[in-house]
């Protein structure tokens, strides 16, 4: 059985950080009063880097890229190996999402089972508290750093999570981070107090989406139609449609790129995108018989948070899936 592989986008994780570093995404639970929101924010950035979207249905129904079926056992409690959140107001999600040490353990142990469902990463020690041991040849852009004895943790625990917004080489003076609790964006790591503590790194790489068909079958069957392959398995009904989005922040009065694509380049009958600022529709786009919608909006000139609602159909009489992501114009620096 071959799992579907989706690769991590550091640029999309960083774009998400730029949108929400100085404020909170209202679609998710805020963990500030429960010991700190740092790991929650770091998890959200990774989630966006793997193509997560903001529709209540996809969050509540535990859709990809949440991991509700992880199998690698974490060394620390809880015993659950899942990585998941909950829609705001409906619950807190799992400790592997919310707590720094457990988030680090999830990444390490999920990676140790390379073919199992869940996201994989390159992990290791970045800083021992007094000397630069950042391995050369690594791309730390979009990585999570875990700081020992800082934030909500203490002692040997890696209790604080920061997200590397941009990086050049392996010198911390050329790395800039974003974080929650406290809320910070584009701050130089080399100038921060975190350099007084040991730091570990997690560089997400890919997500293995493990699916199982019914009966004796190990792979799904997607029938071909005149408009492309169906996204529904003819044997068990599994829906095989995953979209990537262009999370982004732009300066005011810019031309904004609206981009949505099916991760395996499967052709879709229709991709429709609607752009709103608050409740007001400001733009819309539709393409047919393609795997990608890529359009430029000249109507998103004013500062603010814009939502992009996407509707995708695999064929004229097939399934329809809905997605939502965000674009910010202006705002935080």
Question: With 0-12 CB in 10 A as exposed, 13-18 as middle and 19+ as buried, what is 250?
Answer: buried
The tens place of each residue's pLDDT in the chain, 333 residues long, gives: 456 788 899 999 999 999 999 989 988 888 888 889 999 999 999 999 998 888 776 676 567 788 876 544 444 434 456 888 766 655 556 788 989 999 999 999 888 888 777 899 999 988 887 776 788 778 999 999 999 975 444 445 888 999 999 999 888 999 999 999 999 999 999 999 999 899 999 999 999 876 667 666 667 777 766 655 666 677 766 667 778 888 999 999 999 999 999 877 778 889 999 999 999 999 999 999 999 999 999 999 999 999 999 999 887 877 788 899 999 998 755
Mapped onto helix, strand or coil, the DSSP state of residue 122 is: strand
* DSSP one-letter string for 165-192: EEE-TT-GGGEEEEETTTTEEEEEGGGS
Q: Residue 93: its pLDDT value, please? A: 67
Q: Residue 78: its pLDDT value, please? A: 43
* DSSP one-letter string for 252-278: TT--EEEEEEETT---EEEEEEEEEET
Q: CA 268 to CA 91: how far, in whole Å? A: 34
- Cis bond upstream, residue 65 (ω within 30): yes
| CA distances (Å), origin 121, targets 107, 112, 144, 202, 277 | 6, 9, 10, 6, 36
Q: Residue 151: its pLDDT value, please? A: 46
- Cis bond upstream, residue 182 (ω within 30): yes
- Cis bond upstream, residue 221 (ω within 30): no
Q: CA 6 to CA 44: how far, in whole Å? A: 17
| CA distances (Å), origin 43, targets 59, 84, 332 | 14, 9, 20
Phi, psi of 57, deg, nearest 5: -60, -50
Q: CA 35 to CA 102: how far, in whole Å? A: 14
Instruction: At 111, list the tokens.
Output: 């990676």
HSE of 230, CA atoms in CB hemisphere, 13 A = 17
Phi, psi of 208, deg, nearest 5: -95, 115
Cα angle value 116/217/113 (rounded, 5°): 10
Instruction: Record the pTM.
Output: 0.85
Q: CA 306 to CA 330: how far, in whole Å? A: 11
């Amino acid at each position: 059985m071959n799992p579907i592989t989706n690769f991590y986008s550091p640029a999309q994780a960083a774009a998400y950080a730029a949108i929400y570093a100085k404020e909170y995404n209202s679609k998710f639970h805020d963990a500030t009063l429960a010991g700190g929101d740092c790991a929650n924010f770091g998890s959200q950035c990774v989630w966006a880097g793997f193509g997560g979207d903001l529709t209540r249905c996809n969050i509540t129904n535990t859709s990809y890229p949440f991991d509700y079926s992880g199998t690698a056992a974490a060394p620390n409690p809880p015993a659950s190996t899942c990585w998941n959140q909950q829609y705001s107001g409906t619950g807190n999600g799992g400790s592997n999402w919310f707590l720094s040490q457990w988030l680090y353990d999830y990444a390490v142990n999920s990676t140790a089972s390379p073919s199992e469902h869940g996201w994989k990463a390159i992990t290791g020690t970045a800083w021992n508290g007094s000397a630069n041991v950042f391995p050369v040849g690594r791309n730390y852009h979009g990585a999570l750093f875990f700081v020992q004895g800082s934030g909500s943790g203490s002692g040997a625990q890696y209790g604080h999570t920061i997200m590397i917004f941009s990086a050049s080489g392996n010198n911390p003076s050329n790395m800039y981070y974003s974080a929650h609790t406290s809320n910070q964006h584009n701050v130089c790591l080399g100038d921060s107090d975190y350099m007084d503590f040991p730091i570990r790194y997690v560089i997400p790489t890919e997500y293995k989406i493990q699916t199982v068909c019914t009966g004796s079958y190990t792979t799904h069957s997607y029938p071909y139609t005149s408009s492309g392959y169906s996204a529904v398995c003819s044997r068990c009904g599994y829906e095989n449609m995953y979209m990537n989005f262009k999370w982004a922040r732009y300066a005011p009065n810019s031309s904004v790129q609206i981009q949505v694509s099916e991760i395996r380049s499967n052709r879709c009958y229709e991709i429709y995108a609607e752009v709103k600022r608050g409740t007001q529709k400001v733009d819309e786009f539709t393409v047919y018989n393609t795997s990608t919608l890529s359009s430029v909006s000249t109507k998103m000139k004013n500062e603010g948070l814009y939502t992009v609602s996407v509707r995708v159909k695999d064929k004229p009489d097939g399934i329809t899936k809905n997605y939502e992501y965000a674009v910010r114009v202006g705002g935080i620096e």
